[in-house]
Structure 1
Amino acid sequence: MQQPRVSIITVVYNSVTTIEDTIKSVLALTYSNVEYIVVDGGSTDGTIDIIKKYEQKISLWTSGPDAGLYDAMNKGMEMSSGDYFWFINSGDEPASPDVLNKVFSGSSTADVYYGETMLIDEAGNEIGLRRLSPPEILCWRDFRRGMLVSHQSFIASRKVAGKYDLSYRFSADYEWCLHALKHASEIRNTRLILSKFREGGMTRQNIIPGLKERFIIMVKNFGLWSTIMAHFVIVPKFFWYWIRNRRF
């Protein structure tokens, strides 16, 4: 069976210190059917020079103003031709060169693949696994307990992926993954660490507005009472983890 085409999309803006590591890690993948797309928001710090350094190996790239992170992600999907979308944004990396070979090693395909996420520091050193661990079996209702799977460790087929809702500035990725899970016929746990996520960035800097947006999305999908009840569990776990580990 022919391997599915995976469109890996990197969104970047003024990330001269991290973009090269991300590009090199994607280009190191041994999977034979990858399309690599880089969407730059009009960087002015040298990021574009690094992209140009690798442009012969990048399938497509563009640079120009956009309406933010999620608008750039939508642009990347519009530029793509793959069967699957995998977002590895600047600072993030695939977990290993052969990770996609392992994901698509079976004789059949699923609508969504998910796995674990390894956190790394600014120097690329491993910190530990993400606070929230993905369940053995995942369905869209599980996201009532929060974003159990990191966006970087979520690979969705074109059939179930929608556009990012630009009315959300910080949590449109949560809504996007939820939409994909709702429309998926088969959701497959890879039982692999799929990605490395660099701590910091927009998510950490905007944790409070991001959580507010996520609450609104949860109410929309699960109802107010169910969302309030879920937060009696989510909030204490969140703060207890922060007290013990001093990280989210």
Structure 2
Amino acid sequence: MAPTLSVITIVYNNVQDIERTILSVVKQSYPHMEYIIVDGASTDGTLQVIERYQKYIHRLISEPDKGIYDAMNKGLRQATGDYVLFMNSGDEIYAAETVKNVFSSASNADIYYGETEMIDQDGKSLGRRRHRAPKAFTWKSFKYGMSISHQAIYIKRSLTVPYDLRYQLSADIDWILKAAKKASYIVNTHQYVAKYLVGGMSKKRHWQSLKERFQIFTKYYGFLPNVLHHGIIAFHLAWYYLLHRRTND
């Protein structure tokens, strides 16, 4: 039997981007999907855009929330699919055949993942995400940074737990790692599966995001190894920007 996928979109006052996200979901060729949208009581016209696609939406919640991960927990509680995928407002499933291709890549994986393309506010490509998805993924793979974006990972719903609301910006890392520790079969689909809109809240509150990530990685990998890993991250980041600057000169 073909697996079912619950796609969950979180949105609040993002009338300029929500339609691109919705269209990337409803245009999928894969038939075994349910679509859940959690809106934080938007006042800018977002809800009116969503309502234009009501026939494709299985469940719509529109009410105030306590932040993005509270909203994501609401969506997770509504999900009934075998797998869950978070595709939040502004992000997109890569192409119309993507979900079909993901599930065709292997049978009954605990987690499927792939590559991510970055896009700007106009939906134009900015190239591959700086962190390339690892060839093989385990819960240890994030020790040098979040190498798979949240939008590019399909997780068996039975492995998921609610997001930890102690983290305001990086709970998705903790959530993925918890599932990955329980997973025994993780599949790299070797394809682009998502488009990620740059400039989200974690970028706007970058220092808080970094502190939360350090706390999470310390919990999973230990304090001293985490300090060493961050030193390596800093070196590679500096080298990346040096090369990038030379290329642009």
TM-score (norm 1): 0.96
| Counterpart amino acid of residue 120 in structure 2 | D
CA RMSD, aligned part only?
Answer: 1.3
Q: Distance in 2 between matches of 1:244 and 1:55?
A: 47
**Cα drift, residue 105 of structure 1:** 1.1
Indicate conservation of the 8 Å contact 2:105/2:189, yes or no: no
Q: Distance in 2 between matches of 1:45 and 1:71?
A: 21
The 1:184/1:21 distance shift into structure 2, 3 A limit, reads same
Give 2:42's aligned residue. Answer: 43
Give 2:178's aligned residue. Answer: 179
**Cα drift, residue 65 of structure 1:** 0.7
Per-residue Cα deviation, 1:122-177 (whole angstroms, up to 9, x for no partner) = 11111100010111111111111111100000110012111100000010001011
**What is the number of equivalent residue pairs in this alignment?**
245
| Counterpart amino acid of residue 125 in structure 1 | K
Secondary structure of the 1:15 match is coil
Give 1:93's aligned residue. Answer: 92
| Counterpart amino acid of residue 174 in structure 1 | I
**Cα drift, residue 236 of structure 1:** 2.2
| Counterpart amino acid of residue 166 in structure 2 | S
**Is 2:28 the partner of 1:29?**
yes
Give 2:151's aligned residue. Answer: 152
The 1:46/1:215 distance shift into structure 2, 3 A limit, reads same
**Cα drift, residue 59 of structure 1:** 1.1
Secondary structure of the 1:169 match is coil
**Cα drift, residue 192 of structure 1:** 0.9
Q: Distance in 1 between matches of 2:171 and 2:106?
A: 32
The 1:187/1:14 distance shift into structure 2, 3 A limit, reads same
Give 1:52's aligned residue. Answer: 51
**Cα drift, residue 243 of structure 1:** 5.1
| Counterpart amino acid of residue 71 in structure 2 | A
Secondary structure of the 2:126 match is strand
Equivalent positions of 1:1-248 (< 5 A) are: 2-106=1-105, 108-242=107-241, 244-245=243-244
| Counterpart amino acid of residue 46 in structure 2 | T
Indicate conservation of the 8 Å contact 2:111/2:186, yes or no: yes
Q: Distance in 2 between matches of 1:244 and 1:9?
A: 37
Indicate conservation of the 8 Å contact 1:111/1:159, yes or no: no
Give 5+ residue unaligned stretches, structure 1: none
The 1:166/1:245 distance shift into structure 2, 3 A limit, reads farther
Q: Distance in 1 between matches of 2:56 and 2:244?
A: 39
Q: Distance in 1 between matches of 2:107 and 2:55?
A: 32
The 1:54/1:245 distance shift into structure 2, 3 A limit, reads farther
Q: Distance in 2 between matches of 1:235 and 1:126?
A: 26
The 1:214/1:200 distance shift into structure 2, 3 A limit, reads same
Q: Distance in 1 between matches of 2:11 and 2:214?
A: 27
Secondary structure of the 1:226 match is helix
Q: Distance in 2 between matches of 1:52 and 1:121?
A: 25
The 1:152/1:107 distance shift into structure 2, 3 A limit, reads closer
Q: Distance in 2 between matches of 1:212 and 1:195?
A: 26
Secondary structure of the 1:56 match is helix
